[in-house]
């Protein structure tokens, strides 16, 4: 084990994160800071260094927060330890931001000099305020031709109420202003205030899974210290563990002798399963019964659900293993086994949002070589029945008999939408289409408007972001938080093929969306089901009531023109081959539906 660098006293530790709207340059600024502090050799360097997942690199987005400890010689000649956390910008991963903010004393709030303040800028700033952090505004990308730092300063003033003159003009691309950023981190962000001599209290702000070492806890030591050999207890888990290793989070894990109050680092304690721990839990000394837990997190809970089936039924086992592996590092991902008549065995999975779903799907496909089929995403409804039970239902398969249903509720969100004032009309129209319950509006400046809207989560899941961008000509952005459950008129739409229900295509939707959704599915399905030798009716139904219908015409001709002595062997072989191909199709009643049809129906966005 390599000997660590001498511990930096708490007064010279700075814990900070970089927060911003999507794509404003957090990860790029992190690169510059790492390089400036000599955290990486030129040979090791690559862009968005902290985005270590292939997927993050390919998509150019941050999915998980990443922590790195940097060292910097301050103006006083002393060594400072700067613990930097790069956070994701996308709303699906906002819980990561919250977690990161909780383990810091300060935050760099990046604002793109061309885009200005956007919805997640505001949302993340407010969370930073909630935790009482020192916020340093950084106007990034000033090198862009479209950069307009004056306007952005105004927005920082008007929309965030921050002192515009406290902001630093920077370009993470050219390196302009990076020194100044480091200076501000050292001077403006306070050191952690923990008591070195007090009993141990550490916050688990993240965890990783290492195939060899088990669970790696990422910790913020609030009080006391932690060293190898200590016995520690996870308060919520009510279990003691022996600390095997503590260390600092460089680009790799760097073991150190001890982690002192205020520091950020990792601990390995022989924990084998990630489910044994809870992010947000407090680590205390073993046997300490008097400790008060630190304020924890709201745990990230899945809000979007989809059934995931392997294209090849033989891959069910592979899928199960793969999900288990992903869930190790992604506690927000849930999965439970289910089966469909049409698609065989699969899993009902829960996600934080559609981007999360997308990311998980892509990792399953890429890292585990799986070919998958996903059902239409659904939110979780509350359905109350006449016998007085309330069911949480996110799977159409579990929807009770409508005759037994008293009522249903669906999750509502509060969306915060930032737009130029000339887009108010179109955005209001968009919201109306999305069953908005309540809107409020205030001018942030003479040209910029903030709209608050309460609307169903199900209505923003699909193409809301794209539509918002379209109607605002690219200038709108939004953020949301879950609000509560409200009464809704829910129906279950089934898709029937010649009268037989295709279970994998059933959906729970609002009454008013049932018909267009059913029709869109019917149309796509009829296009994708190949010729059959009889007419096929594809119908959308609510219970016994047909609400949409398309027909697939009876087949084209399917008989060889000529079949005499010399043709028979060839023809038979062809039929045998085709019969084999048919075996691989999914059978619904007397209709064969190829997998490609499910893909065609499910891959495209719901459209209605």
Partner 1 sequence: MRGSPDRGDPGIYVHVPFCRRICPYCDFAVTPRGRRGSERTARYRTALLAEIALRAAPLGADTVYFGGGTPSLLPPDAVRELVASLVAAGLAAPAPFVILEANPEDLVRDEGLARAWAAAGVSGVSLGAQSLDRDRLRFLGRLHSPDDVRRAAAMLLDAGIPWRSMDLIYGDAAQSSAALEAELEAAAGLSGLTHLSVYELTIEAGTPFGRRAAAGERLISAETAALFRSVHETLAGVGFVAYEASSFARSKRDRSPHNPKYWTGAAYLGLGPSAHSFDPDRRARSWNHRTIAPWRDAVLRGELPVEGAEVLTARERALETVFLGLRTVAGLDLDAFAAAWGDAVVAANRDRFRRWEASGLVRTGGGRLAPTLDGLAVGDALAREVDLGLVADERAAAA
447 binds, among Mg ion, ligand GTP, partner 1, none (CB under 5 to 8 A by kind): none
Report the interhelical angle of 178-188 vs 26-36 (nearest 10°). 80
The residues in 85-144 that bind ligand GTP, with binding defined as CB under 6 A, are 88-89, 140-141, 143-144
Q: Any contact of residue 61 with ligand GTP (CB under 6 A)?
A: yes
> Beta 168-169 vs 134-140: how paired, if at all?
parallel
Helix, strand, coil shares, percent, the chain, to 5? 30, 35, 35
Least distance in Å: CB of 121 to Mg ion?
A: 14
Closest CA to 67 of 93, 97, 87, 94: 87
Q: Which residue among 12, 49, 62, 277 contacts ligand GTP (CB under 6 A)? A: 62
Q: Any contact of residue 168 with ligand GTP (CB under 6 A)?
A: no
| Contact footprint for Mg ion (CB under 5 A) | 26-27, 62
Q: Rounded to a whole number, what is the largest CA-CA distance in the chain?
A: 99
* 41-69 CB burial, b ≥16 within 10 A, e <16: eeeeeeebbbbebebbeeeebbbbbbbbb
Q: Which CB atom, from 107 or from 232, has the smaller least distance to ligand GTP?
A: 107
First and final C-alpha spacing in the chain = 59
Q: Any contact of residue 527 with partner 1 (CB under 8 A)?
A: no
How many angstroms separate the CA atoms of 164 and 181, rounded? Answer: 15
Q: Which CB atom, from 49 or from 162, has the smaller least distance to Mg ion?
A: 49
Q: Which CB atom, from 298 or from 553, has the smaller least distance to partner 1?
A: 553
**Would you state the structure tokens that stand for residue 144, as one six-digit string?**
């862009």
579 binds, among ligand GTP, partner 1, Mg ion, none (CB under 5 to 8 A by kind): partner 1
Q: Any contact of residue 299 with partner 1 (CB under 8 A)?
A: no
Q: Any contact of residue 560 with partner 1 (CB under 8 A)?
A: yes
Q: Any contact of residue 488 with ligand GTP (CB under 6 A)?
A: no
Closest CA to 220 of 261, 190, 264, 254: 264
Q: Any contact of residue 272 with partner 1 (CB under 8 A)?
A: no
Q: Which CB atom, from 20 or from 249, has the smaller least distance to ligand GTP?
A: 20
Q: Any contact of residue 586 with partner 1 (CB under 8 A)?
A: no
Least distance in Å: CB of 343 to partner 1?
A: 21
- CA dihedral in degrees (155, 170, 17, 464; nearest 10)? 50
How many angstroms separate the CA atoms of 241 and 244, rounded? Answer: 9
Q: Any contact of residue 575 with partner 1 (CB under 8 A)?
A: yes
603 binds, among ligand GTP, Mg ion, partner 1, none (CB under 5 to 8 A by kind): none
Q: Which residue among 572, 603, 604, 607 contacts partner 1 (CB under 8 A)? A: 572
Q: Any contact of residue 20 with ligand GTP (CB under 6 A)?
A: yes
Q: Give the CA count within 13 Å in the CB-facing half-sphere of 523.
A: 10
Sign of CA dihedral 258, 261, 265, 267: positive
Least distance in Å: CB of 568 to partner 1?
A: 6
Q: Any contact of residue 219 with ligand GTP (CB under 6 A)?
A: no
Q: Which CB atom, from 89 or from 396, has the smaller least distance to Mg ion?
A: 89
> Which spans of this chain sit near ligand GTP (rule: CB under 6 A)?
20, 22-28, 48, 60-62, 88-89, 140-141, 143-144, 171-173
């Amino acid at each position: 084990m390599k000997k660590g660098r001498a511990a930096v006293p708490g007064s010279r530790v700075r814990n900070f994160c970089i927060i911003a709207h999507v794509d404003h340059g957090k990860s790029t600024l992190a690169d510059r800071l790492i390089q400036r502090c000599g955290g990486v050799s030129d040979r090791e360097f690559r862009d968005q260094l902290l985005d270590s997942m292939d997927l993050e690199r390919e998509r150019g987005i941050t999915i998980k927060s990443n922590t790195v400890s940097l060292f910097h010689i301050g103006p006083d000649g002393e060594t400072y330890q700067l613990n930097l956390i790069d956070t994701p910008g996308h709303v699906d991963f906002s819980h990561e931001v919250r977690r990161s903010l909780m383990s810091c004393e300060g935050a760099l709030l990046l604002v793109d000099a061309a885009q200005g303040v956007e919805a997640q800028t505001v949302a993340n700033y407010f969370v930073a305020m909630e935790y009482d952090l020192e916020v340093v505004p950084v106007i990034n990308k000033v090198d862009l031709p479209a950069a307009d730092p004056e306007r952005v300063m105004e927005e920082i003033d008007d929309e965030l109420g921050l002192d515009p003159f406290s902001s630093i003009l920077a370009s993470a691309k050219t390196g302009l202003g990076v020194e100044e950023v480091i200076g501000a981190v050292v001077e403006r962000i306070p050191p952690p205030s923990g008591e070195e001599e007090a009993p141990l209290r550490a916050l688990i702000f993240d965890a990783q899974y290492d195939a060899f070492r088990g669970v790696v806890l990422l910790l913020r030591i609030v009080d006391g210290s932690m060293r190898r050999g200590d016995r520690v207890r996870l308060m919520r888990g009510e279990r003691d563990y022996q600390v095997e290793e503590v260390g600092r989070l460089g680009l790799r894990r760097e073991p150190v002798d001890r982690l002192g109050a205020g520091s950020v680092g990792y601990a390995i304690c022989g924990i084998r399963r990630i489910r044994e721990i809870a992010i947000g839990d407090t680590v205390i000394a073993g046997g300490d019964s008097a400790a008060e837990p630190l304020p924890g997190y709201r745990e990230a809970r899945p809000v979007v659900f989809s059934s995931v089936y392997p294209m090849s039924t033989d891959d069910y086992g592979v899928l199960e293993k793969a999900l288990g592996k992903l869930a190790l590092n992604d506690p927000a991902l849930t999965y439970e086994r289910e089966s469909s008549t049409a698609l065989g065995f699969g899993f009902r999975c829960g996600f934080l949002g559609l981007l999360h779903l997308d990311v998980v799907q892509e990792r399953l496909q890429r890292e585990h070589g799986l070919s998958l089929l996903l059902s239409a995403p659904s939110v979780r409804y509350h359905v109350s029945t006449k016998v007085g039970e309330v069911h949480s239902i996110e799977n159409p398969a579990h929807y009770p008999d409508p005759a037994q249903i008293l009522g249903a509720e669906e999750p509502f969100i509060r969306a915060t939408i930032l737009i130029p004032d000339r887009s108010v009309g179109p955005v209001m129209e968009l919201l109306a289409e999305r069953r908005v319950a309540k809107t409020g509006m205030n001018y942030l400046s003479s040209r910029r408007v903030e709209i608050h809207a309460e609307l169903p989560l199900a209505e923003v899941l699909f193409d809301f972001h794209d539509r918002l961008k379209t109607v605002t000509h690219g200038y709108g952005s939004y953020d949301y938080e879950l609000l509560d459950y409200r009464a809704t008129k829910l129906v279950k739409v089934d898709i029937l093929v010649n009268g037989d229900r295709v279970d994998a295509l059933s959906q729970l939707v609002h009454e008013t969306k049932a018909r267009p959704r059913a029709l869109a599915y019917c149309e796509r399905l009829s296009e994708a089901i190949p010729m059959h030798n009889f007419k096929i009716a594809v119908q959308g139904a609510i219970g016994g009531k047909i609400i949409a219908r398309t027909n697939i015409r009876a087949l084209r001709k399917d008989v060889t023109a000529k079949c005499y002595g010399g043709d028979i062997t060839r023809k038979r072989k062809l039929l045998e081959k085709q019969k084999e191909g048919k075996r691989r199709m999914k059978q619904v009643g007397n209709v064969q539906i190829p997998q490609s049809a499910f893909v065609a129906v499910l891959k495209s966005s719901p459209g209605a």
